[in-house]
Amino acid sequence: MSRGRLWIAALAPQVALLVGMVAVEEHGRATGAEVVLEVRAYDPMEPVAGRYISVPLAISRLDLTKIPHPEPIPSYGSRVYVRVTKGETTWQAAQVAAELPESPGGLEGLFLRARVESPWNPEVSKELRLAYDIDRFYISEDAEDPSVWRMNDTGRRRLAVVARVTASGRAHTVDLLVDGRPYQEWNREQRRRSAGK
Amino acid sequence: MSVAGRKIAEALLELEREGALSWEQRALVERRVTEALAGKGDGAGRFISILAALGGVLVGAGILYLVGYNWDQLSKIQKLAIVFGVWLSIHYVGFRLAEPPGGYPRVGRAVTSIGILCFGGAIGLVAQIYNLSSEYPNWVLAWWALSVPFVLLTESTAILLLVIALFLVWIFWHTGTLVDRFDQHIDHDFFAAFALVGAGLGLLWSSLGAWSSKSRFGHFAPVLAGLARPAAIGAAYALSFKDFWWDQMDTPGRSGEFQWFTPLHGGLHAQAFVPFAALSLAGLAALALAAWRARERERVFEGLAFFGAALALAANLWLWPRGIFLLANALLLAGILVLVYTGIRRGRPADINWGIAAFVLCVATRYVEYLWDKLEGAYAFIGIGLVLLGMGWVLERKRRKWIALSVGRVA
C-alpha cells in the first residue's frame, strides 16, 4: 500500500467518528419529537470546551413521594426513563420507569432517557437526582449570559431547553429559550440595548 | 573517540569494503553516531523541529481565534466546513511536507502533530455546535486511540509523546470519574486507584519498550523504558504516606455489596482495582509478545520486575490497605538500589539520576512527615535546609563516581 493510502487509512476512522457524531445529531433533530423543558441555569467555563451555560433540567430532581417510580429504586449510575407530559409552558415529569416501554399504549407524553446520578438513600431523602446529558448550552465568549440577572432587571428570567427526543429516549438540544424567545434573538436584543446605553 | 565509537567506525569501514554502504553513507552514519555518542545530537535539526512546532501552534491558535471571534455570525454548515476543512488541510500539508518528495520531514512532522491536536479541537467544536456533553471523557479516549495510527505511520518520537500525553489525560480522568461513581466512595478509593494506575503504566510502558526494542520502532524503546521509571516511582511514592492509610482508614465495611473480604481490606471498593487490572493485562500481553518475538531477556526481566512490584502493591491494598505504606517504602528503597546498580552495570546515567531523585524525594518527604510537628517554625526550615544541603553534597560525590563507573563499564 502506498504511503498516501496509509495516511488516508489512518485518517479514515477519525473522519468517520466526526461524521458519525454529526449524523447522529442531525438524525435526532430531524426525526425526534419536540419538548420544552424548564432549566435552572448557571454559567461555568471549561478551559477545553469553552464558555457554556450549564442548563440542568428542572426534572433532574424528582420528588418520589409525588411521582410513580419502580421499586426498588434503580441504583446509582443505572439508566431510567422519565415520562414527560406537556404542561402549560414546559413539559413536566409524570413517571419514572426502569425500562423503555415497547409500546407506550395509552400513556400520554414521551419517554426521556436519564441516568441516576446520586446514590439513593430513602432514609435521607425522597429526592431522586438524574442526569440527561443535555445539560450544556454553548455560547460565544462575548455573548450575554441569561443565567445571571441584575437588581434593576424585572426578575429572574425563565429559561427552557428545546430538545428533540428520538424513539430511544435520547434527547438532542436544539435551542435555549429565554423568557420564551430563542437565545440568539434574545442575545441580539441585549447587545443592541448595551450598545444604545 | 571512545572505545564504542572506534568499534562502530571499524564495523562501518568493513561494511563499506564489502560494498553494503557507499563512501557517503558510511561517512554520514559515522558522523551521526559520533555526535550521538558525544551527546551532541542533531542540535540544528531539533531547533528546526521546535521552531516548526511553535509556528504550527501559533497558526492553529490564530485560526481558532478567528473562528471563535466570528462564531455567532457563522451558520452550522459554515462552522462544520471550517472545522473539517482546517483539520484535514493541516493533515494534507503535513503529509506533503514529510513524505517524499516533500523534503521537509521535521516541519512535516510538526504540522502532523498540530493535525493530531486539531482532531481533539474538531471533536470539541462539533460537541459545541450540537451542545453535547458526556459523563465519561470518551472524547479523549477517541482522540488518543484514533491518533495511534499516526505514531506507527510516522515513527516519530514527538508524536508518540503527544499520544502518550493524551492517554495520560484520559486514563486519570476516566479513573476519577469511575471512582466518583462508586456508592459511598472514600478518599482512599481515589488514592488507591490513581496510584495503581501509575503502577500499571510502569508495567505497560516497560513491556511496550521491550516489545518494540527489536522492531522498526526500536527507537521508542528507551523512551518508553524511561517513562516507566517515574510512573512506578510515583505509584510507590503516592502510597508511602503512613498517616493517610494507617490513622484514617478505620471504618471497614462501609462500601456496599461489591465488597469481597471486607473485614480484611477495610473500606476500599473492589472496582477501584479495575483500571489497574486492565493496564496489567495489556502490559502482560505486550510482555508475552516481547518474550516471544524480541527475545530481549534483560528487558523482559525488567518488565517482570515492574509487574511483580505492581502486583504486590495491588495485593497489599486488597488485603491490608492500612499497611500499604510499609510495602510502598520498601519497594521505593529496593527500586532506588536497583536503579543505581543497573545504571552502573548497564552504563545508563539516566537510571542513576532517577535513583538519586527518588532517594532525595523520599528522605525529604519522610523528614517533613515525621519531624515537622516536632520542630518549631525556624528550626524546621533550618533542619530541612541542612538535610538537603548534606544530601546534595554526599550525592554529588557519589553521582560523579557512579556515572564514571557506568561509562567505564560501557567502554
pLDDT at B258: 41
pTM: 0.79
A-chain residue closest to B255, CA distance: A119
**Minimal C-alpha gap between B138 and chain A (Å):** 12
C-alpha distance from residue B54 to each of A114, B111, B156, B339 (Å): 44, 10, 17, 35
Mean pLDDT of B233-248: 85
Query: What's the pLDDT tens digit per position in B100-157?
Result: 887 788 888 888 998 998 898 888 888 888 988 888 889 999 999 999 999 999 999 9
pLDDT at A166: 92
Q: In angstroms, how far is CA B140 from the centroid of its own chain?
A: 17
Whether residue A4 and residue B72 make contact (CB cut-off 8 A), yes or no, is no
- Residue in B119, B124, B133 nearest the CB of A14: B119
Chain B residues with CB inside 8 Å of A48's CB?
A: 124
Question: Which range among A183-187, B319-323, B355-359 shows the weakest confidence by mean pLDDT?
Answer: B319-323
Are B200 and B279 in contact by the 8 Å Cβ rule? The answer is yes
pLDDT at A190: 86
HEC assignment per residue over chain B: CCHHHHHHHHHHHHHHHHCCCCHHHHHHHHHHHHHHHCCCCCHHHHHHHHHHHHHHHHHHHHHHHHHHHCHHHCCHHHHHHHHHHHHHHHHHHHHHHHCCCCCCHHHHHHHHHHHHHHHHHHHHHHHHHCCCCCCCCHHHHHHHHCCHHHHHHHCCHHHHHHHHHHHHHHHHHHHHHHHHCCCCCCHHHHHHHHHHHHHHHHHHHHHHHHHHCCCCCHHHHHHHHHHHHHHHHHHHHHCCCHHHHHCCCCCCCCCCCCCCCHHHHCCCCHHHHHHHHHHHHHHHHHHHHHHHHHCCHHHHHHHHHHHHHHHHHHHHHHHCHHHHHHHHHHHHHHHHHHHHHHHHHHCCHHHHHHHHHHHHHHHHHHHHHHHCCCCCHHHHHHHHHHHHHHHHHHHHHHHHHHHHHHHHHHC
pLDDT at B254: 45
Residues of A with CB under 8 A from a CB of B: 3-4, 6-7, 9-11, 13-15, 17-18, 21-22, 25, 48-50, 52, 75-77, 115, 119, 131, 133-138, 140-141, 143, 172-173, 184, 187
pLDDT at B172: 96
Q: Which residues of chain A have pLDDT under 70?
A: 41-50, 103-107, 119-123, 149-155, 197
Chain A residues with CB inside 8 Å of B72's CB?
A: 140, 143, 184, 187
pLDDT at B66: 64
pLDDT at A70: 86
pLDDT at B313: 94
Chain A residues with CB inside 8 Å of B68's CB?
A: 50, 140-141
- Residue in B127, B128, B149 nearest the CB of A10: B149
pLDDT at B165: 94
Q: Which residue has the higher pLDDT, B300 or B235?
A: B235
Chain B residues with CB inside 8 Å of A189's CB?
A: none
